[in-house]
Structure 1
Amino acid sequence: MSAVSVLDGCTVVTMDSEQHEYAVGHVVIDGGRIRSVAPGPYVPTGDDVDIVDGTGCVLTPGLVNTHHHLYQWATRGYAVDATLFEWLTALYPVWGNINERVVGQAASAGIGHLALSGCTTVMDHHYVFPRGGGDVLGAEIEAAGDIGVRFFATRGSMDLGRSDGGLPPDHVVESIDEILHASAAAIDLHHDASADSMVRVGVAPCSPFSVTTDLLREAATLARDRGVRLHTHLAETLDEDDFCRERFGQAPIDYMESIGWLGPDVWFAHGIHFDDKAIRTLARTGTGVAHCPSSNARLGAGVCRTRDLLDAGAPIGLGVDGAASNEATSLLEEARHALLFARALGGPTALGVRQALEAATIGGARLLGWEDEIGSIEPGKQADVCLWRMDTLAHAGIADPVAGLVLGTPPPLELALVAGRPVVRGGHLTRADEAALAAGAVEASRQVRAPVLAG
């Protein structure tokens, strides 16, 4: 097989800075990177190339997920009519039973499903580390390598247990020293800042209601000393807003600014309940927001003010969030929901189809600090791309392929490449057995349920 391949005859949606699109175009990939992007069919030059016929398809950058909890694939379908705090209270005892094997099985299933829905870069926020549970973060990273996706792992943490006024039960929290040591070790072992990196690591204390101020401050110092990014949940619910005002005497965004947790190296998950002042603060500091519309709706938490954030200039990406609060976990569906929810609040111009796709691609890459390598189809960038089949009954005849992609049902995924290597072909994973992944997910779910049922 040649090292050079050509995706030919497809509609090309680049998501570059000028949003070039070609109704019929081609992309040349060489050694895992994009060599050229051009309109019209490929004209053979005599080079030894592999040509992929993209007729009837639309080519986009691979989708970039900016917020997830992969271990939750083992606990889907719990507390389905609960608020966030009720849902967390119901699930923390179950999550206390996870271990390296459970997380590996859950992550493999979750990442495999994300890849099948066009996600080529997966971010995960893992913050539950039961004692004796083994290397759960390493299990996720191994699963991502097996499936073949690019992975941004964040070492999460909780040190504020229920006995100290926090939400999580005491048996799933760690000490600050344990957290900082483990976070530094994860960076040293797994973080790769190189241009061809497949794994990067960030530091991610869980949320204001599950961690102390001391942990947030020291985590920020560690991350900046090591040159990695910071992430946490913020402004997800009004309960959290009440918690911050009662405990710290400040709104969530003011609290985080007071302890040095704003800046272009920080992104927050959810960001639903930001007022006008908070949105201006995010934009001024370059702090990003991972919008998770399906999870927000599933938990009845509210709708992120995406139009206002974009107008202010705040960075925006999309996240599926944990599989226990978004059983579908499809990033393309998040683009659709982001658009529909924004328009339900702000009218038909509140979010365009290309703005929604931008949030799912280059917008997400910016949040992760990976925009120089992924998120758009441009010469020199990594060949992380998706070829969507748009000539089946569900999409045939749609005038605007981007509208078809975002507003229609998710189309069949003909091909997904990561660094030029096939991860999905013909709607199936190339490097993993989907039936085995499903069986592993069932086993993981049984393992975490068993101690709860026995108790």
Structure 2
Amino acid sequence: MSTSLLVTYACLYLDRGLEIPNGWIHLENGRVAGYGAMTTPAPQAARVLSAGGRLVTPGMVNAHHHMYQNLTRAYAPVVNGTLFEWLQGLYPLWATLDEESVYLSSYVAMTELLLGGCTTSMDHHYVHPRPRLIDAQIRAARDIGFRFHATRGSMTRSVKDGGLPPDSVVQSEDVILEDSERLIGLFHDPNPGAMTRVALAPCSLFSVSETIMKESALMAERHDVRLHTHLAEDHDEDVYCREVYGCTPTEYFERSGWASHRSWVAHYIYPTGDEIDRLAHKGVCAAQCPCSNMMIGGGSADAMDLRRRGIKVGLGCDGSASTDHASLWLEARMALLLGRYRNGPHSMTARDALDMATRGGAACLGWEDEIGHLRKGACADLVVWQLPAVSRAGALSDPVEALLRCAPATAWYTIVNGRILVSEGQPCQSGLETVLRDHERAARRMQKLD
């Protein structure tokens, strides 16, 4: 059966510097086969989908997330805490995670991401009270048809070692390294068009041993996979690194062998200018998480300054219990507002924010050749956007600016690997109602509401 799909009557934003005001795009066998203006002949296709003049963009790429946290969204006892207070309040709840709850939370997160225009996401899963939790995430992604970059997170330092989490969610160095090897061997697909990849992701500099940092970097080099961690997110992290390691977080990151082209970091709020320049020179990428950072009130990276200095910047939804949503469209809008608020009205455009949400996220995942754009040969991952008629009334001159200025925008169609996963604003997963019911049961159990 043919997998050919033609999207017509679309305002196409295909990549930075490549836009067609009224055109078509042809998808075949999971790839972009071609595109053109409606004034040029379009190829035949098994299915033709009219965008009805709506904006079409590459699927957004989520560069930092914690999917399991949607089981504790807006959790009342900690909603107004600092980052460390928030973590200390929630770790005991997350210690009850099991394969079922991780599958359910991942399934819900991925579906929510699809509705917000995201077609590829990583997830930073670092809480491991039980084995094989990342296997459950990958199963959820495959059941949905979602492009997923799993990361094997880890923690070795519990409360008794001066860390934040309870003993039950940390693991020994041997267990972490053995499971990292297992996951790479089982699930990492380095081939073009992969639907599942794996990276290594110790949680943070203050939650894992120096051995795990250094051995993860060596393992990533051996297997040619990527590295991810939180970095320079909070002033307390700076104090910790100076007291324990006698240096700044960035200096410790470099000392551990992480300053390389295969690394991307979350947040990167408090580096010095020299530190930014050094990591940019090494090819390190960064993920800004504007909504989560503003919700916790801990500052946010100056994304445009990082970009100006040479760091490629993506966007991330971050924790579903700090952001309390999984909409990359909302992150892109907030990145635009935050950038202009911080640096003035001439500092950032909607195209800059959209570039971060697409090309920038793809760079973080080391996947810029195939995702984050819709040039010929790219993966067939795209979004047809919908703005309510009242919200878009009068927005006639620039649909890309309107996408992030007018609100709320949601996916009308989301297509991953040439498959329609959101249709006319509704997710296509037939078992979603059951998953949502089971998810509520798991969340109530975790929050001790039953």
Confirm whether residue 219 of structure 1 aligns to residue 220 of structure 2.
Answer: no
**How many Å separate the matches in 1 of 2:394 and 2:36?**
24
Equivalent residue letter for 1:297: M
**How many Å separate the matches in 1 of 2:420 and 2:87?**
37
Task: Name the residue aligned to 2:419.
Answer: 421
Question: Deviation of residue 252 (structure 1)?
Answer: 0.6
**How many Å separate the matches in 1 of 2:200 and 2:275?**
23
Q: Matched residue of 2:319: which SS? A: coil
Q: Quick one: structure 1 residues 51 and 93, their matched pair in 2 at CA, closer, same or farther if it must change by over 3 Å?
A: same
**How many Å separate the matches in 1 of 2:238 and 2:372?**
33
**How many Å separate the matches in 2 of 1:400 and 1:426?**
23
Equivalent residue letter for 1:445: A
Task: Name the residue aligned to 1:177.
Answer: 174
Task: Name the residue aligned to 2:3.
Answer: 3
Does the 8 Å CA contact 2:203/2:229 hold for their aligned counterparts?
Answer: yes
Question: Deviation of residue 134 (structure 1)?
Answer: 4.2
Task: Name the residue aligned to 2:272.
Answer: 275
> Alpha-carbon deviations, 1:159-218, whole Å to 9, x = none?
112212222222211110000000100100110011121000000000011111111001
Question: Deviation of residue 233 (structure 1)?
Answer: 0.5
Unpaired segments of 5 or more residues in structure 1? none
Q: Quick one: structure 1 residues 390 and 449, their matched pair in 2 at CA, closer, same or farther if it must change by over 3 Å?
A: closer
Q: Quick one: structure 1 residues 3 and 105, their matched pair in 2 at CA, closer, same or farther if it must change by over 3 Å?
A: closer
Does the 8 Å CA contact 1:8/1:25 hold for their aligned counterparts?
Answer: yes
**How many Å separate the matches in 2 of 1:268 and 1:289?**
5
Task: Name the residue aligned to 2:331.
Answer: 334
Q: TM-score, normalised by structure 2?
A: 0.96
User: After the TM superposition, which residues 38-57 of structure 1 pair with which residues of structure 2 at under 5 Å, given as runs?
Assistant: 38-41=36-39, 43-44=41-42, 47-57=44-54
Q: Quick one: structure 1 residues 125 and 371, their matched pair in 2 at CA, closer, same or farther if it must change by over 3 Å?
A: same
Does the 8 Å CA contact 2:117/2:410 hold for their aligned counterparts?
Answer: no
Moved more, 395-404 or 324-333: 395-404
> Alpha-carbon deviations, 1:109-128, whole Å to 9, x = none?
11111111111001101011
Confirm whether residue 436 of structure 1 aligns to residue 434 of structure 2.
Answer: yes
Does the 8 Å CA contact 1:127/1:155 hold for their aligned counterparts?
Answer: yes
**How many Å separate the matches in 1 of 2:427 and 2:39?**
28
Question: Deviation of residue 431 (structure 1)?
Answer: 2.4
**How many Å separate the matches in 1 of 2:39 and 2:170?**
57
Question: Deviation of residue 347 (structure 1)?
Answer: 0.5
Number of positions where the alignment pairs a residue of Structure 1 with one of Structure 2: 447
Task: Name the residue aligned to 1:243.
Answer: 240
**How many Å separate the matches in 2 of 1:434 and 1:349?**
43
Q: Matched residue of 1:375: which SS? A: coil
1:296 to 293, 314, 319: 293
2:401 to 395, 400, 403: 403
- RMSD of aligned residue pairs (Cα, Å): 1.5
**How many Å separate the matches in 2 of 1:44 and 1:214?**
56
Does the 8 Å CA contact 1:2/1:50 hold for their aligned counterparts?
Answer: no
**How many Å separate the matches in 2 of 1:146 and 1:388?**
24
Unpaired segments of 5 or more residues in structure 2? none
Q: Quick one: structure 1 residues 412 and 207, their matched pair in 2 at CA, closer, same or farther if it must change by over 3 Å?
A: closer
Does the 8 Å CA contact 1:8/1:42 hold for their aligned counterparts?
Answer: no
Confirm whether residue 112 of structure 1 aligns to residue 111 of structure 2.
Answer: yes
Equivalent residue letter for 2:254: E
Which structure 1 residue ranges, 4+ long, deviate > 6 Å from structure 2?
A: none
Q: Quick one: structure 1 residues 403 and 220, their matched pair in 2 at CA, closer, same or farther if it must change by over 3 Å?
A: same
Q: Quick one: structure 1 residues 168 and 333, their matched pair in 2 at CA, closer, same or farther if it must change by over 3 Å?
A: same
Q: TM-score, normalised by structure 1?
A: 0.95
**How many Å separate the matches in 2 of 1:9 and 1:55?**
6
Does the 8 Å CA contact 1:146/1:432 hold for their aligned counterparts?
Answer: no
**How many Å separate the matches in 2 of 1:58 and 1:321?**
26
**How many Å separate the matches in 1 of 2:15 and 2:408?**
19
Does the 8 Å CA contact 1:319/1:331 hold for their aligned counterparts?
Answer: yes
